Structure 1
């Protein structure tokens, strides 16, 4: 495989073409941060990129790690241990946030190349950086470069991704300056070109230098970068002595084209369109990111010469041993990223440490490491959803004897319905992964087996992990809710019911929105009813919410009714209340997506009779990540 072939950036040789993307750890260079980066080196990545903030002269580092004399020794330890595991190290230096921030060090407003509206709050006008402030940022950048070189790092990447401060200088939409930092493409690139000169001055001409940037913003509005301008910029960077172009696409503030496309983004790796165009225009290597943890797509892109290196972030969170498993011929053992964004970028954006829905050890590598049990037990797992399957896999890896009972004829639990929409196919890859691991590890799975307190007590288990999940919530106080024209969203997703043409979907949360989008391509017209003032009222990562809501409002077969309460269900209509008025909405089928209710009766029946543990939705309906994390913690406690 070309993925596994050695690669070269300037004079730096890498053991393969896999680069761990600069996905930072909020607690900087702590012990947990150390383990987080080193684990990806142990797993076989060729280059580990560690993001750090350049200078606090004008902006505070915020969520980013900051390299200074106080943090230097801890950083050096990370570098040394990455090296000892066969990988090389690159620091990604972030010159600033600019208009994507809410304030700055010396002002109540963000700074930017010009006095333009803040990207996420257009009512705020940014402070235009003075030349003196630009110099202060660059001076701080120089000091960071010096410390980076001193630490033994092998390469430097300058961060110029779409919407950050450097890109605000590069882009006409944000750069309105009339001095030497504004004007044509080359003039707008002056800020970045001067940063490149600083690296050359401090580290030498051949020291491996990477620039991460967006050749194409994928925006039709005037001032945003087109691929034609991106090619011109790329040639400027090549002429300036950059050794690797790290291509991304889109920008902050956009609904669709963003750095880490969520599961809803189904266009096939749009970053590759940009990287292919740049690869044809320059003679230096090109890297790209964006769902490249999909090994088949990534290998095809390399073979088709669309890029030279794969920058993988979320894929190496889900499974840091992806490169090693490929080298060992075990692709079926690679845990897939599902693109949910909830526990990686979502947590970081909320100020928490990074994690992963399918890999709870991210950021907690030492704490949640599986070790051989000193007293193996007979473990019975009830329920074959994500929590139950994870618990069974973890328990076997620790040396326990495990049996799993599943009441249906297949594994997956709620994942089965969640993976039905065409825009959520990655969920099915996760089910396949779990199924494969259970088979390879020899876990005995009993299908069509409904657990009762009596059957569990007769099983001879030393401990029982109950992962029976949840069921759709059906309020009994709504007239007509038990009628033959009423179905649940899960039944609709799994084609377990007959649907009419005009549907009323009750509940505009995540499940209601996804169900609606799944059904409209099947010829359905939908009135989507949500009692709260807005769609998706539950906590959802902002970019996911923005994209999903955009999909709903752009679907002509969906009519959204927010602030609308369901009163009654009739044979051919529903009665609702909105703004104090009662309304009748015609429909032939009502689809309930009003939430979930825990299936916890077995836990209650077993308490006090046997060692029993409840995980996942049977405790409280939540997300995949909660079930998987609770599975790991429970198994470790046995």
Structure 2
């Protein structure tokens, strides 16, 4: 069946060239006062150039006390209009419709604080955390209650910001009526309790914003609100309630398209035991793909039953081209809304259209927060995989007029990124890799057959290998290159990207246990080709690296113990936000870390540990050692006196995330002169 994804769509005077929408994404790329910047324009311009039907600029605050990030965009007064014109031009010049989402924080400014908050205050100075009541809160346990006159002013601020957005040249408006913002908490059956003013009508605030905006912008100016359709909380409204009570009034206002979200950040128990409400908003690493497919189908049926024909955007966890097609062709959404994939590969719509899907840098769904910090943690939005996003101007490829000979040693994430970039610039590149194939640690990091979605970790090395195969890089696998092999190439630059070596631990009987197959390392168990055998009774030693492996083996039917020398489970630095899901799964499947036990001996089917109470001996068929990784700087030392420029990237510098390796390689490869 031919997908509808690239069919045009017309709605309320808007002509979408295809059904792919970049959803509003907070990038934190304004200046300190909330003005749009050149960095912002370049980032959104890169998305538009990638071939989207529409690009929606992320949450833009309509009143300063509603900020939820220090570098959040604002449209507080007339001064802000001109600063947006560059962003609008970048989007529209590249052939996409330009939208902007207008926002006011409500309860959300109380989220993510690292310091105690005063009652009713947000974590950014001058911000407030308040809602229609303080029955359910987000972050600040002592949130305030919005007076009627403040509600009225905020409604006017939304409308005036909408007028300014139209004057700046945007094609349509999006309103943030979801995820804990003030309009959403007004809709909520949970948080909007006990009011006696006009805002006791839960839909009134959204309705008032739209009507006043239409007075200022004209009734024909398109509005595409992003609205919570189902709170997915116990006691919260559901799709049927939305379709009965909110959808008819929304439809009567003449909106162009409904941008559907599902889930809430309010502090109430999730309605479904298997999926947390917030997973429908920002899916975790382990969440189901196309997580809102059934929600969109249910909503469509509920609307049709009431004779409401309203175009819908469906989104959340659309990671591959097939997921987008599923959302439009099977779920029945008119548009597929994308965020994370947009940042990881802004060109993916055009690659799809041209039949180049094998060149899409599919999202690994991890890593960005390890680099610049996340948007609630004093950071700007970026991609661990795509080092250019947010740096489009300064990271443009400029072909060299002085080609250099570059030797890259190591074919992992950092080495391949460096080689590809240097080749694109015009340098002559030789890439040595000691293994039989390229990929490095990322090549085995995703090999957990029983854990959901771990295959995403292999997307990055798969992309790199594909692009290397299409490049001019001279790849030599199976070569453990030393100084002699490197210098024989007469290089101008040598890139050390050999990754990290396993930490060696001193344990009695370890050599014999390894020879007998009793003791193996984590990378040996997880490698793609000829992995080490694992017996029925398994001890995973080292919870930082080994927790996910222990879970995977348990789910595959092994008897697993997870033992660690430390006082408590402390995740490896590359785990990032996955840690909360890992700990939840460990509790659910009855896998507890056994802390305070140091491996001291390995014998015939046994492992001995020292403990606070003495020692313990346990029987095992396999002991998997997950002792961490260490920098191996032997090659750097050996080249210290060589007359070449040496760049060290990734774990060869210090063990961290694959994203650090990619970003370092992208930067250093552009410095070759």
Under a length normalisation based on structure 2, what TM-score does the superposition of the two structures give?
0.87
How far, CA to CA, are the matches of 2:574 and 2:199 in structure 1?
Answer: 38
1:473 equivalent to 2:507? Answer: no
> Cα gap change, 1:378/1:336 in structure 2, threshold over 3 Å: closer, same or farther?
same
1:157 equivalent to 2:169? Answer: no
> Cα gap change, 1:512/1:305 in structure 2, threshold over 3 Å: closer, same or farther?
closer
Aligned pairs (5 A) from 1:225-624: 225-232=237-244, 233-252=246-265, 254=276, 257-265=279-287, 267-280=288-301, 281=303, 282-304=308-330, 306-340=332-366, 342-343=368-369, 347-422=374-449, 423-476=453-506, 478-482=507-511, 483-484=513-514, 485-494=518-527, 496-509=531-544, 511-532=545-566, 534-538=568-572, 543-556=577-590, 558-562=591-595, 564-571=596-603, 572-577=606-611, 580-582=612-614, 584=616, 586-588=618-620, 589-609=622-642, 610-624=644-658
Post-superposition offset of 1:539: 5.3
Contact 1:100–1:163 under 8 Å retained in 2: no
Q: Which residue of 1 aligns with 2:125?
A: none
Give the aligned length: 624
Contact 1:41–1:48 under 8 Å retained in 2: yes
> Cα gap change, 1:214/1:566 in structure 2, threshold over 3 Å: closer, same or farther?
farther
1:194 equivalent to 2:203? Answer: no
1:55 equivalent to 2:88? Answer: no
3-state DSSP of counterpart to 1:499: coil
How far, CA to CA, are the matches of 2:327 and 2:570 in structure 1?
Answer: 36
**What is the CA deviation profile of residues 108-159 of structure 1, one whole-angstrom value per residue up to 9, with x for unaligned ones?**
77212211353346xx232122212212221222221121121111111111
Q: Which moved more, 1:407-416 or 1:194-203?
A: 194-203
3-state DSSP of counterpart to 2:646: strand
Post-superposition offset of 1:52: 3.7
Q: Which moved more, 1:70-79 or 1:532-541?
A: 532-541
Contact 2:62–2:102 under 8 Å retained in 1: no
How far, CA to CA, are the matches of 1:576 and 1:208 in structure 2?
Answer: 69
1:65 equivalent to 2:77? Answer: no
Contact 2:407–2:495 under 8 Å retained in 1: yes
Contact 1:113–1:175 under 8 Å retained in 2: yes
Q: Which moved more, 1:484-493 or 1:371-380?
A: 484-493
3-state DSSP of counterpart to 2:82: helix
Post-superposition offset of 1:345: 9.5
Under a length normalisation based on structure 1, what TM-score does the superposition of the two structures give?
0.91
**What is the CA deviation profile of residues 26-65 of structure 1, one whole-angstrom value per residue up to 9, with x for unaligned ones?**
1311111111111111222121111243433653453421
Post-superposition offset of 1:627: 0.7
> Cα gap change, 1:216/1:375 in structure 2, threshold over 3 Å: closer, same or farther?
same
Contact 2:367–2:574 under 8 Å retained in 1: no
- Aligned counterpart in structure 2 of residue 114 of structure 1, from 133, 136, 150: 133
**What is the CA deviation profile of residues 179-237 of structure 1, one whole-angstrom value per residue up to 9, with x for unaligned ones?**
25677xxx322222222222222222222111212323444x2x233332243333442
Please identify runs of 4+ aligned residues in structure 1 that moved more than 6 A.
Answer: none
How far, CA to CA, are the matches of 2:64 and 2:120 in structure 1?
Answer: 9
Q: Which residue of 2 aligns with 1:26?
A: 28
Contact 2:24–2:59 under 8 Å retained in 1: no
How far, CA to CA, are the matches of 2:541 and 2:232 in structure 1?
Answer: 35
> Cα gap change, 1:371/1:58 in structure 2, threshold over 3 Å: closer, same or farther?
closer
Contact 2:8–2:19 under 8 Å retained in 1: yes
Contact 1:53–1:61 under 8 Å retained in 2: no
Contact 1:99–1:164 under 8 Å retained in 2: yes
Contact 1:58–1:106 under 8 Å retained in 2: no
3-state DSSP of counterpart to 1:3: coil
How far, CA to CA, are the matches of 1:435 and 1:22 in structure 2?
Answer: 32
3-state DSSP of counterpart to 2:170: coil
3-state DSSP of counterpart to 1:519: helix
> Cα gap change, 1:433/1:196 in structure 2, threshold over 3 Å: closer, same or farther?
same
How far, CA to CA, are the matches of 1:480 and 1:234 in structure 2?
Answer: 69
Contact 1:316–1:322 under 8 Å retained in 2: yes
Post-superposition offset of 1:576: 4.5
Q: Which moved more, 1:55-64 or 1:399-408?
A: 55-64
3-state DSSP of counterpart to 1:384: coil
1:210 equivalent to 2:224? Answer: yes
Q: Which residue of 1 aligns with 2:273?
A: none
Gaps of 5+ in 1: none
Q: Which moved more, 1:395-404 or 1:587-596?
A: 587-596
Contact 1:234–1:278 under 8 Å retained in 2: no
3-state DSSP of counterpart to 1:49: strand
Q: Which moved more, 1:198-207 or 1:450-459?
A: 198-207
How far, CA to CA, are the matches of 1:635 and 1:555 in structure 2?
Answer: 45
How far, CA to CA, are the matches of 1:181 and 1:524 in structure 2?
Answer: 60
> Cα gap change, 1:55/1:301 in structure 2, threshold over 3 Å: closer, same or farther?
closer
Post-superposition offset of 1:450: 0.7
How far, CA to CA, are the matches of 2:280 and 2:566 in structure 1?
Answer: 28
> Cα gap change, 1:268/1:601 in structure 2, threshold over 3 Å: closer, same or farther?
same
Q: Which residue of 1 aligns with 2:236?
A: 224
**What is the CA deviation profile of residues 296-334 of structure 1, one whole-angstrom value per residue up to 9, with x for unaligned ones?**
221233223621112111111111111222222222221
C-alpha RMSD of the superposition: 2.5
How far, CA to CA, are the matches of 2:574 and 2:469 in structure 1?
Answer: 34
Aligned pairs (5 A) from 1:167-186: 167-180=184-197
